[in-house]
Amino acid sequence: MQGWRYAAPSIGSAVAPEGLPGSAGIVHDLGNLIQIAASAVNIIGRNSRTWRDPSLEPALARARTALERASDLVRQTASAIRVPDVQMRATTELQHLPSCLAEIDGLIRWVCDPDITLSIDAPDDLPPICCNRIELQSAVLNLAINARDAMPEGGALAIRAREATGGAALELSITDNGQGMSPSVLAQAFRPYFTTKPEGRGSGLGLAMVKRFAQEANGEVEITSAPGRGARVTLRLPTARFGSSAHDASNTRR
């Protein structure tokens, strides 16, 4: 099976500090809330049940426009009060991966078509990781939706979390048995706005957002795929007890 890997560089402490004072803290929190709302609108827009009801699209378009304007206002306000760009990044803290997955279990099952078999396997005793919970959950949802879209006739979607050899990182894999990707598509998979989906069915930003999340968590992300053989996306995220890098946790390609 062909494989291509993006290995994110460490970005150190480039995360939003907790307890931002005054207006800076309010702007930061508002930005996070807008991200949550935008993710929800995008998920609804990409659900097959939404496509069957054309009357919903104008409402979703207005919601997207409103959220885009809100995001612009947040950026303008941040600039006016001189909030450094680093402060607008998502706050990171210790996360229990199985609990994060359990919180969105129902949402993942909702976005999957009925003819897709879903399995989630994340042992409760996994060590904590340091990342932003919302961005982690958004990355998993994006990958689940991509897997669903690759299986229009149904199939199997498996989400699996394990501690990598040596314990330096957790490996979170999302695997489907769908259409798979050609080497040329695989090489461009993380490029922003690149999509093979029909117009209106994909923005080309889902995997780019997953890549950014991996960067900000000081981890790495890899896709392994081949035409007709499905795809596996693996996130390697440093465990809190080891800290800064997942690069050496596992170099084995799958």
The string of pLDDT tens digits covering residues 216-225 is: 899 999 999 9
* Cβ–Cβ under 8 Å, residues 246 and 218: yes
Counting residues of the chain whose pLDDT is more than 70, the rounded percentage is 71
pLDDT confidence of residue 163: 95
For helices 22-46 and 133-149, what crossing angle results, to 10°? 20
The closest alpha carbon to 67, from 32, 34, 33, belongs to 34
Q: Tell me the per-residue pLDDT of 144-177, one tens digit each, with 9 for 90 and over.
A: 988 998 999 999 999 999 999 888 999 999 999 9
pLDDT higher at 6 or 61: 61
Burial class (CB in 10 A: 0-12, 13-18, 19+), 170: buried
Q: Tell me the per-residue pLDDT of 32-59, one tens digit each, with 9 for 90 and over.
A: 567 667 777 877 777 767 667 777 778 8
pLDDT confidence of residue 236: 96
Beta-carbon contacts of residue 18 (< 8 Å; ≥ 6 apart) = 91, 93
Q: What is the mean pLDDT of residues 203-232?
A: 87
* Cβ–Cβ under 8 Å, residues 13 and 243: no
Q: pLDDT band for position 122 (50/70/90)?
A: very high
Phi, psi of 171 (to 5 degrees): -110, 120
The closest alpha carbon to 150, from 70, 212, 58, 228, belongs to 228
Q: Tell me the per-residue pLDDT of 52-75, one tens digit each, with 9 for 90 and over.
A: 777 777 888 888 888 888 877 877
Q: What is the mean pLDDT of residues 6-23?
A: 39
Buried b (16+ CB within 10 A) or exposed e, 83-98: beeebbbbbbeebebb
Spatial distance between the Cα atoms of 18 and 69, rounded to a whole number of angstroms: 26
Q: What is the mean pLDDT of residues 186-215?
A: 77
pLDDT confidence of residue 123: 96
pLDDT confidence of residue 98: 97
* Cβ–Cβ under 8 Å, residues 206 and 38: no
* Cβ–Cβ under 8 Å, residues 102 and 133: no
| 3-state class percentages of the chain: helix first, strand second, coil last, to nearest 5 | 40, 20, 40
DSSP 86: G
| pTM for this entry | 0.66
